[in-house]
Structure 1
Amino acid sequence: MASKLLNFGSKLFKKTTQLIINGAHNNRRSASTSARNWIEKHPKLLAFGTLTGAAGLLMFALDVSVEASSDLVHPPAQNWGHKGLLSAIDKEGVRRGYQVYKEVCSSCHSLQYIAYRNLAGVCLTEEEAKAEAEGITVQDGPDEEGNYYDRPGRLSDYLPRPYANEELGRSANNGAYPPDLSYIVSARKGGEDYVFALLTGYCEPPAGFALREGLYFNPYFSGGAIAMGKLIDNEVVSYADEEVAPSASQLAKDVVTFLVWASEPEGDLRKILLIKVTLISTFLIGITYYIKRLKWSALKSRKIFYLPELQEKASKAASKAASEAASSKNDNCKK
Structure 2
Amino acid sequence: MTRIIAPLIGLGFAFVLVLGLFGTITTASEPATAEHEFHLAPKPLELASNGVFGKFDKQQLQRGFQVYKEVCSACHSIHRVAFRDLADLGYNEGQVKAIAQQWTTEQPSTNPETGEPATRKNLPSDKFPKVYANDTAARAANNNAIPPDLSLMTKARPNGAAYVHSLLTGYGESPAEVQKEFPKFTTPDGLYFNRYFPTLNLAMPPPLASDGQVTYADGTKSTVDQMAKDVTAFLVWTAEPKLEARHTAGLASVIFLLIFIGLTIGAYKSVWRNVKH
TM-score by length of 1: 0.65
Task: Report the counterpart of residue 236 of structure 1 in structure 2.
Answer: 213
How far is the alpha carbon of 1:142 from its aligned partner? 7.9
The 1:266–1:302 alpha-carbon spacing in structure 2 relative to 1, beyond 3 Å, is same
Task: Report the counterpart of residue 151 of structure 1 in structure 2.
Answer: 120
Task: Report the counterpart of residue 122 of structure 1 in structure 2.
Answer: 89
Quick one: which of 250, 255, 258 aligns to 1:279? 255
Q: Which amino acid counterpart does residue 233 of structure 2 have in structure 1? A: T
**Matching of residues 103-182 of structure 1 within 5 Å:** 103-122=70-89, 124-136=91-103, 137-141=106-110, 143=112, 147-182=116-151
In 2, Cα distance between the equivalents of 1:187 and 1:123?
26
Secondary structure at the counterpart of residue 259 of structure 1: helix
Structure 1: which 5+ residue stretches go unaligned?
1-13, 20-60, 62-67, 304-335
1:183–1:263 CA contact under 8 A, matched in 2: yes
Percent identity for Structure 1 against Structure 2: 37
**Matching of residues 176-195 of structure 1 within 5 Å:** 176-195=145-164
Task: Report the counterpart of residue 84 of structure 1 in structure 2.
Answer: 51
The 1:173–1:90 alpha-carbon spacing in structure 2 relative to 1, beyond 3 Å, is same
How far is the alpha carbon of 1:88 from its aligned partner? 1.1
Q: Which amino acid counterpart does residue 191 of structure 2 have in structure 1? A: L
Task: Report the counterpart of residue 40 of structure 1 in structure 2.
Answer: none
The 1:212–1:160 alpha-carbon spacing in structure 2 relative to 1, beyond 3 Å, is same
Tell me how many residue pairs correspond in the alignment. 238
Q: Which amino acid counterpart does residue 89 of structure 1 have in structure 2? A: F
- Max radius of gyration: which structure? 1
How far is the alpha carbon of 1:145 from its aligned partner? 6.9
Task: Report the counterpart of residue 308 of structure 1 in structure 2.
Answer: none
How far is the alpha carbon of 1:123 from its aligned partner? 5.2
Q: Which stretches of structure 1, 4 residues or more, deviate above 3 A after TM superposition?
A: 68-71, 141-149
Root-mean-square deviation (Å): 2.7
1:94–1:123 CA contact under 8 A, matched in 2: no
The structure richer in helix per residue is 1
Secondary structure at the counterpart of residue 140 of structure 1: strand
Q: Which amino acid counterpart does residue 93 of structure 1 have in structure 2? A: Q
1:71–1:222 CA contact under 8 A, matched in 2: no
1:98–1:123 CA contact under 8 A, matched in 2: no
Task: Report the counterpart of residue 321 of structure 1 in structure 2.
Answer: none
1:182-238 CA-to-partner distances (Å, cap 9, x unmatched) read 111111112111111110111111334312221111111122111111121211100
Task: Report the counterpart of residue 94 of structure 1 in structure 2.
Answer: 61
Relative contact order (C-alpha < 8 Å, sep 6+): which is higher? 2
How far is the alpha carbon of 1:298 from its aligned partner? 7.4
1:71–1:223 CA contact under 8 A, matched in 2: no
The 1:225–1:282 alpha-carbon spacing in structure 2 relative to 1, beyond 3 Å, is same
In 2, Cα distance between the equivalents of 1:162 and 1:277?
41
> Do residues 218 (structure 1) and 187 (structure 2) align?
no
